[in-house]
Structure 1
Amino acid sequence: MKRMKTFMRQIIFVGSLVTGIFIIAVAAAIFIWQTTEEGRLPAKTAVVLHAINNDLVPLDTNITPPRIVTGGSSSGPSLLREEIYVPVQGEAQIPMRMYRPQGEGPYPIIMYYHGGAFMEGYGNVDTHDNIIRSIASRTNSIVLAPSYRLAPDYEYPVAVEDSYAALNWAYDHAESFNGDSNRLSVAGDSAGGNIAAVMALMSRDRDGPPIQAQALLYPLTTFLDMTFESRETYDSGYFLLSRSVMYRARDVYTPNESMWSSPYTSPLNADELYDLPPALVITAEFDPLRDEGEAYAKRLADYENSVQTTRYRGVMHGFISFYEVMQSGRAGMQELSSFLNRANSGQLQLKEGYHLQVRQPPQGMNRVREQTEAFAIAAYLLGRSSTDLFSE
């Protein structure tokens, strides 16, 4: 009996020692991941970037901490999902995903253009489904996300013409899906942010559908060789977008240099930007596209358009895609939804002049929660990596 007690104490001691070593290893790993040439990252940003850049999770997979940490999440209102096809130029059709509330409506319509560098294999409606669905739920709106055709098979202007055809289709057929054509907004992220901005320009220039608001998430706004500090500092690709991808996108989407100066590829360089819908422009600190997004917001304001501009510190390109796990992503999604809700209800306060709001990383108890979740995710990733190693 005495031997058994001694043996059990030894097992507990060894277990505690292993646990302690593992905790130290996790903490050390997070510290290393936070340290970059561009500066020290918040813990959650560092963990998410490490997971993606080391292929520990696919880019389009939600990285979530254990439910014991987050407490789970409540589901939003029930939505109907449909896959439809809309006609575009050249007697072709493209697929378009629709999320809409159950009921008679009529509901506001939001056209969402997904990011992905305009190229096949870098992003599609599926990789952005969580954003599309969440916007529909949070704004009680119909969200339509067209799968515009991509390079290298389709060069400019196919993507924007597809997108504009989808916009016109939504406006013309709104009644058939309980939509309100008088409450029509455009939104998009990265390359999709570029397209959303271009839709506002095209609709103005072509006397197209009246757009009540445009929401641009870390948009690419110019294909021209302009000097931006953020392009120089964050071009390695570690922050989810590299200079090489940007150049490849330009080479295959706009292969002729004459295309680069078009307002429908480079809205930042448009001759004039008068009479455009109120805009929300969200940028990220660690993003090569940060400065050009803010430069576009400033030009919109210079042309007397109403602009709400927010830079989120401590996060990378595409951070709102991770709203389920990053508090800054949730804040960005909330700001986006609030902007669209105000536009839908006619309560959007018009702003004069250019004002850049800088949103700090989570502080106080929110920071503690963020660090706790970062530790939980890092422990999961390291534990899984160890399991995979021993199973080989």
Structure 2
Amino acid sequence: MRRGLTLGIAAIVLVLTAGASACSSGRTPAITAASCPTPGVTPQEIRLGLLYSDTGASSATLAVARAGVDARLGQANAGGGINGRKIVYDWQDDPGTPQANMLGARNLIEGRHDFGLLEYSLAAGASAQYLADRDVPVSGLAVGDAWPKYRTMFSFAYTTGGSVDTYGQFVKSRGGTRAALLRTALSSEVGNAGAKLVESLQSVGIPTVAQVPYTPGADSPTAAAQKIIDSGADTLLAVVDAGVALPPVLTALRAAGKNMKVILSVSGYDNQLLRQAGPAMAGVVVPVFYRPFEAGGLAIARYTAAMTDYAPQVQNPTQEIAMIAYINTDLFLKGLQMAGPCPTRKGFTEALRSVTSYDAGGLLEPPIDVRNGLGKPTTCWSFVQANDTGTAFTIVDQNRCGRALPAA
């Protein structure tokens, strides 16, 4: 899925505090108890497990998640940790297979005795029941049906749930009237995201007049472009890998003299991609479910500084998966902070599930409702667009909020 994974989030992507800021330093008086009987908790530290795909088909996308985790934990520890304890982690590679995911979870919980997990794997559902049975809290990339099923699994955005009209609202505001969907058949998650886009546009009176399957290396971009042109669509919905599949189709469209009113891609918010693809990505709009990097401000500055200081191996910190990991790690720290000086797994879940306004220190606009939002779709998005030369993104619509559509 590579960059196409982001759609799963963009649906979160459509393949990422109550009261005070969630990104607070966690400076509270050190505990006085000599020990706390909870697994992973000592007087000096709290051990977490990181389960992610360092190898495997999705590793190119998910590897940078570890940098986001390092950045947020480094920032927290520099501020005194949580309740006087340093936050550290053990990690386990999950190459995206159910067997490896289950084995990795067992190794971290039974072998390392970690308190909870940060998880970035497309196979997270394989260990979900095992972890829930042990009250192990998990925070991470909510791709798949397991995440909204268990109260012990936390994320600030979900790929499941119903459709929203936000995308349709945006396309209508830009003059779109008829849409074509460029899609891949490589993932059920991506296919589900495409269906949600179609429903969103239909809800505001914009029909999808063609669905064009496209696989790089197997299909002709010129033929795909011609099908889009023949449909009479003035809007292109792209549910494909923006780094590989989208540029050649857009190049073919322009070579044929076709200029779309709107090109809405569920992935591709990556400046490195613009440096690689250049003018081919000009005009492409991507929905973003957190504060866009281009918006600046204190929250973005803190994120960038944390990435620079604690994840220097990542030369470009403005990457979506890194930001998603940073926010979900912050969400876990919020739970630890609320769970008190001797946190328990059950206490963590109950405390974090009580939060009704969480904004990750200003990175989420508007704040999310953790207590009532389990598994519900994100309805508020910002839209960024590659400029006319394909060299940078600009914000074209910030914090557009729609409504959840009734189930079909």
The verdict on a shared fold, with TM-score over 0.5 as the criterion, is no
TM-score if structure 2 supplies the norm length? 0.30
State the structure with bigger RCO (CA 8 A, min sep 6), 1 or 2: 2
